[in-house]
């Protein structure tokens, strides 16, 4: 049975504000909760005018406080930007406020440029090379405190917040397998090593107290509408933003443009096609077909659906139609 969730970058459309984006995120979370999505994650990015989820733990509290059953979490926290104790306290607090509903996905990229990373950390002495040790330290703070433990996360100790390893290469797959943690691959924007990473993770997985068997979640772009042409049109906003990001010029989410792909150069089109190859674009029926094909190819346990759409009501509708595509697959499998 396909399990679907949402990864929200809290997009800030042109002409709106971060406050608007955060209100939209809560409304979307409430809508997908009603539609039976499993979890709602937000991502840590910094110095990006089109993304409002920089203070990720705060946004998670906002979303969890406005919902009641859906799991809410980070997809992810960029751990090199933070001391593990601080993250243990933040997510221990969230787990204390919303028990049984908080997830903590961890990544080793900065989620920003090097200048901003330095501003975040004040020093770059801590690096992605320390990521495995930082994850183990964070696990330590979230477990029950040991007798005589000098540093205890309060709140945090004993909450056992479920950890996930995020990645866009085989490094994360190896770490998740070694630690016996669920693995989320960023195939929605970096699909090149997806199949290799999945294979490595499943082959090398070692059971842990958190997880007995490997569990794979894959990022998946979804742009659903009443017609194929409208779905392609709605996706053009995300393609424009992605192209500008690759040019080193992050922007707020622009309005859609009819025939946008026809304006691209051959290299630009090839790049965007590669980046967005893990996508479903179209009507309910075509999204269901594309989703089924992707699940068959990858064997994913869960799809983390991403869809930055300029018009908030069209975005809500896209996720509603994606849920209808899921239901269609469930009915077919029954």
Number of other residues whose CB lies within 10 A of the CB of residue 313: 10
248: alpha, beta or left? (left if phi > 0; alpha if psi -120 to 50): left
pLDDT number for residue 71: 98
pLDDT tens-digit series, residues 209-237? 999 999 999 999 999 999 999 999 999 99
> What predicted TM-score, i.e. pTM, was given to this entire model?
0.95
Report domain extents, the chain. 4-333
- On whether the CB atoms of residues 29 and 70 are closer than 8 A, the answer is yes
Query: What DSSP designation does 263 have?
Result: G
Name the strand (E) or helix (H) holding 304. strand 302-306
pLDDT tens-digit series, residues 163-187? 999 999 999 999 999 999 999 999 9
Q: What is the DSSP string of 103-118?
A: EEEEE-S-SS-HHHHH
Contacts of 109 (CB under 8 A, 6+ apart): 78, 80, 128, 168
How far, in Å, CA of 235 to CA of 224, rounded? 9
pLDDT tens-digit series, residues 7-41? 999 999 999 999 999 999 999 999 999 999 999 99
pLDDT tens-digit series, residues 124-156? 565 567 899 999 999 999 999 999 999 999 999
CATH superfamily ID and name for 4-333? Luciferase-like domain (3.20.20.30)
CA angle, corner 320, sides to 318 and 322, nearest 5? Answer: 70
Contacts of 192 (CB under 8 A, 6+ apart): 274
Q: Which pair of structure tokens corresponds to residue 283? A: 């009507």
pLDDT number for residue 127: 59
Backbone angles phi, psi at 149, to 5 degrees: -60, 125
pLDDT at 111 over 60: no
How far, in Å, CA of 112 to CA of 223, rounded? 26
Q: Which pair of structure tokens corresponds to residue 69? A: 């059953």
Name the strand (E) or helix (H) holding 72. strand 71-78
- Average of per-residue pLDDT values in the chain: 94
Number of other residues whose CB lies within 10 A of the CB of residue 154: 13
């Amino acid at each position: 049975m396909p399990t679907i969730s949402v990864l929200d970058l809290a997009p800030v459309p042109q002409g709106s504000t971060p406050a608007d984006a955060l209100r939209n995120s809560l409304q979307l979370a409430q809508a997908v909760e009603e539609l039976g999505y499993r979890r709602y994650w937000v991502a840590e990015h910094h110095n990006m005018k089109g993304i409002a989820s920089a203070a990720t733990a705060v946004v998670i509290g906002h979303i969890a406080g406005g919902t009641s059953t859906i799991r809410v979490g980070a997809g992810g926290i960029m751990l090199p930007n933070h001391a593990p104790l601080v993250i243990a306290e933040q997510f221990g607090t969230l787990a204390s406020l919303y028990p049984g509903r908080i997830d903590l996905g961890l990544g080793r990229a900065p989620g920003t440029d090097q200048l901003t990373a330095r501003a975040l950390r004040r020093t770059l002495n801590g690096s992605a090379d320390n990521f495995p040790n930082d994850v183990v330290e964070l696990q330590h703070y979230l477990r029950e405190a040991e007798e005589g433990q000098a540093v205890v996360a309060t709140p945090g100790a004993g909450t056992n917040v479920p950890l996930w390893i995020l990645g866009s290469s085989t490094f994360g797959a190896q770490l998740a397998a070694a630690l016996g943690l669920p693995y989320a691959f960023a195939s929605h924007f970096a699909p090149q090593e997806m199949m290799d990473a999945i294979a490595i993770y499943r082959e090398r997985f070692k059971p842990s107290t958190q997880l007995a068997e490997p569990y794979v979640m894959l990022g998946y772009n979804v742009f659903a509408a009443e017609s194929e042409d409208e779905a392609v049109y709605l996706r053009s906003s995300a393609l424009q933003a992605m192209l500008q990001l690759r040019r080193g010029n992050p922007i707020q989410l622009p309005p859609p443009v009819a025939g946008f792909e026809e304006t691209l150069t051959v290299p630009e089109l090839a790049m965007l096609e590669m980046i967005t190859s893990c996508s479903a674009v179209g009507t309910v029926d075509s999204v269901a077909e594309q989703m089924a094909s992707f699940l068959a190819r990858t064997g994913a346990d869960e799809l983390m659906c991403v869809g930055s759409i300029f018009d908030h009501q069209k975005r809500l509708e896209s996720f509603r139609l994606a849920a209808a595509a899921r239901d269609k697959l469930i009915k077919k499998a029954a």
